[in-house]
Amino acid sequence: MSVGDQLLLTLEFWREYRTFFHMGQAWGLDETTVQRTIERVEDALLRSGQFSLPGKKALRADTHVWTAVLVDVTEIPCERPQKNKSSGTAGRKSDTP
């Protein structure tokens, strides 16, 4: 693959976040080839110094202030078998040899 295609494959993976298998099917490649290509491009971008990932402290910093919390408390009825005497085993324990 050309360098442009490798970069396009990586950008497509980041944008759509599909599995390596589905990316391989779309590009006509094996999923391990897709994985290695994406890892190679990511490493090259990080080594260039123009792209960087935030550190752990930046990811843990709480910059969002929550003003509302929504909780879904809807109830959904579920079907359960009726409890009656006829819905048991066919014979009693004393009748079983």
Report pLDDT for 85. 61
Report pLDDT for 80. 76
Domain map of the chain by residue range? 3-53
Query: How far does Cα 28 stand from its chain's mean position?
Result: 23
Contact 6, 40 (CB under 8 A): yes
Report pLDDT for 24. 94
Report pLDDT for 59. 67
Low-confidence ranges of the chain (pLDDT < 50): none
Give me the DSSP letters along 21-83.
HHHHHHHT--HHHHHHHHHHHHHHHHHHSS-----HHHHH-----------------------
CA distance 5 to 18: 17
Which residue type occupies 7? L
